[in-house]
Chain A
Amino acid sequence: MNLTLHVWRQKSASEDGRFVSYDAQGIDAHMSFLEMLDVVNENLETGGEEPIAFDHDCREGICGSCSMVINGRPHGPRKETTVCQLHMRHYEDGDEIWIEPWRASGFPVIRDLVVDRSSLDRIIASGGFISARTGSAPDANAIPVSKANADRSMDAAECIGCGACVAACPNASAMLFTAAKVAHLNLLPQGQPERTSRVLDMVLQMEAENFGSCTNHGACETACPKGISVDFIALLNRDYLVAAVGRSG
Chain B
Amino acid sequence: MARTASGLETALERIPALREEFWENGKVVGGGSELNQVLERAGRIADFLELGELMCRDALAREESCGGHFREEHQTTDGEARRNDADFSHVSVWEYTAESAVPVEHREHLEFEYVTPSQRSYK
What's the Cα separation between A53 and B29 when bound, in Å?
12
Mark interface residues in B18-41 (1 if CB within 8 Å of A CB, else 0): 000000000101100111111000
B35 in complex: contacting residue of A45, A48, A49, A53, CB < 8 Å: A53
Are A11 and B34 touching (Cβ within 8 A)?
yes
Contacts of A11 in B (CB 8 A): 34
Are A51 and B34 touching (Cβ within 8 A)?
no
Instruction: Decide yes or no whether A192 CB sits under 8 A from chain B.
Output: no
Q: Which of B34, B35, B36 has the most CB of A within 10 A?
A: B34
Mark interface residues in A29-55 (1 if CB within 8 Å of B CB, else 0): 000000000000000010011110100
Are A110 and B29 touching (Cβ within 8 A)?
no
A interface residues, how many (CB within 8 angstroms): 11
Contacts of A50 in B (CB 8 A): 29-30, 36, 38
Q: Least Cβ distance of A8 to chain B in Å?
A: 14
Instruction: Decide yes or no whether A176 CB sits under 8 A from chain B.
Output: no
What's the Cα separation between A248 and B30 when bound, in Å?
55
Q: Least Cβ distance of A24 to chain B in Å?
A: 19
Are B34 and A12 touching (Cβ within 8 A)?
yes
What's the Cα separation between A53 and B41 when bound, in Å?
12
Mark interface residues in A7-35 (1 if CB within 8 Å of B CB, else 0): 00001100000000000000000000000
Could you count the A-B residue pairs with CB atoms below 8 Å apart for me: how many are there?
24
Q: Which residue of B lies closest to A56 (CB)?
A: B37
Are A51 and B29 touching (Cβ within 8 A)?
yes
Q: Restricting to B21-66, which residues have a CB under 8 Å from any CB of A?
A: 27, 29-30, 33-38
Are B27 and A111 touching (Cβ within 8 A)?
no
Q: Which residue of B lies closest to A51 (CB)?
A: B38
Q: Least Cβ distance of A232 to chain B in Å?
A: 33
Instruction: Decide yes or no whether A114 CB sits under 8 A from chain B.
Output: yes
Are A45 and B38 touching (Cβ within 8 A)?
yes
Contacts of A12 in B (CB 8 A): 33-35
Mark interface residues in A105-125 (1 if CB within 8 Å of B CB, else 0): 000001100100000000000
Q: Restricting to A45-102, which residues have a CB under 8 Å from any CB of B?
A: 45, 48-51, 53
A114 in complex: contacting residue of B27, B29, B30, B35, CB < 8 Å: B35
Are A51 and B35 touching (Cβ within 8 A)?
no
What's the Cα separation between A137 and B41 when bound, in Å?
41
Contacts of B37 in A (CB 8 A): 51, 53
Q: Least Cβ distance of B25 to chain A in Å?
A: 13
Contacts of A49 in B (CB 8 A): 29
Q: Least Cβ distance of B42 to chain A in Å?
A: 11
Q: Which of B30, B33, B35, B37 has the most CB of A within 10 A?
A: B37
What's the Cα separation between A95 and B27 when bound, in Å?
32
Sample 23 A-B pairs with CB under 8 A, ordered by A number: A12-B33, A12-B34, A12-B35, A45-B27, A45-B29, A45-B38, A48-B27, A48-B29, A49-B29, A50-B29, A50-B30, A50-B36, A50-B38, A51-B29, A51-B37, A51-B38, A53-B35, A53-B36, A53-B37, A110-B35, A111-B34, A111-B35, A114-B35
> Hey, which bits of chain A sit against chain B, CB under 8 A?
11-12, 45, 48-51, 53, 110-111, 114
Question: 6 closest A-B pairs (Cβ-Cβ)?
Answer: A111-B35, A12-B34, A50-B30, A50-B29, A53-B37, A110-B35
